[in-house]
């Protein structure tokens, strides 16, 4: 047995014996009836952020997209491969979720990378291109926090980036149509991993507020 995977294999055994048995009927129902998630959750691939854990959700509750920086590329109708776009379309047009959550987080490596001079190589070509989706947030943060601390500027960039991703979601025809119809609602969140709190974006006052006070 590969020692690097041993903990995961033991964890799976525990899942089968404990968690699966506790929710056996729920899993059977999900298998028989298919999925009907409550929301699409677009989060970062960061291993420290676990969507189900921070939301207390169960199997079948969230349709999840994870990528570097929880970015959403603008709608682009071409013949190329678009993994995030495809998942957005599937969630909104096929599964017909009622809500989309874009969740950023503190100490995001993608956001930090925006402020580093990273040389492009054949090994990071796609990553360099993907990080372009955070450039507008960086521009705003540099103007607003140029005389402030680096940490405060990074936290602000993480949050303002979430707002830009919400704007990008509205470039998708299916998302825009359903938002205008009032059948789909967009939410911007920022998760603070240091203390476990989540803030939400209040688009009426243009600020992030504690989710616990919503």
Q: Would you state the pLDDT for residue 165?
A: 98
Q: Is pLDDT of 172 > 70?
A: yes
Judge if 23 and 65 occupy the same domain. Answer: no
Judge if 101 and 129 occupy the same domain. Answer: yes
Domain range holding 84?
39-213
Judge if 27 and 47 occupy the same domain. Answer: no
Cα separation, 133 vs 213, in Å, equals 30
Burial of 14 (0-12, 13-18, 19+ CB in 10 A): exposed
Judge if 142 and 161 occupy the same domain. Answer: yes
CB 22 within 8 A of CB 58: no
Judge if 85 and 166 occupy the same domain. Answer: yes
Q: Is pLDDT of 1 > 90?
A: no
Judge if 53 and 19 occupy the same domain. Answer: no
Tally Cβ neighbours within 10 Å of residue 178. Answer: 19
Could you give the angle at which helices 150-169 and 135-144 cross, rounded to 10 degrees?
140
The residues facing 52 across adjacent strands are none
Report pLDDT digits (tens) over 36-51.
999 999 999 999 999 9
Judge if 124 and 196 occupy the same domain. Answer: yes
**Structural domain count, the chain:** 2
Judge if 18 and 77 occupy the same domain. Answer: no
Report pLDDT digits (tens) over 11-68.
999 999 999 999 999 999 999 999 999 999 999 999 999 999 999 999 999 999 999 9
Judge if 30 and 47 occupy the same domain. Answer: no
């Amino acid at each position: 047995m590969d020692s690097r995977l041993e903990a995961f294999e033991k964890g799976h055994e525990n899942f089968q014996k404990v968690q699966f048995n506790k929710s056996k009927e729920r899993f059977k129902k999900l298998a028989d009836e298919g999925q009907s998630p409550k929301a699409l959750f677009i989060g970062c691939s960061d291993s420290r952020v676990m969507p189900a854990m921070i939301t207390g959700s169960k199997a079948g509750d969230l349709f999840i997209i994870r990528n570097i920086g929880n970015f959403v590329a603008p709608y682009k109708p071409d013949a190329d491969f678009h993994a995030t776009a495809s998942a957005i379309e599937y969630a909104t047009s096929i599964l017909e979720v009622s809500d989309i959550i874009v969740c950023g987080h503190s100490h995001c490596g993608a956001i930090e990378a925006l402020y580093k001079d990273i040389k492009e190589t054949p090994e990071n070509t796609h990553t360099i291109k993907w990080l372009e989706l955070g450039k507008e947030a960086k521009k705003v943060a540099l103007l607003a926090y140029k005389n402030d601390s680096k940490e405060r500027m990074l936290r602000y960039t993480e949050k303002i980036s979430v707002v830009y991703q919400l704007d990008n979601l509205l470039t998708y025809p299916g998302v825009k149509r359903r938002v205008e119809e009032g059948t789909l609602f967009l939410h911007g969140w920022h998760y603070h991993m240091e203390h476990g709190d989540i803030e939400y974006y209040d688009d009426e006052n243009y600020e992030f507020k504690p989710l616990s006070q919503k």
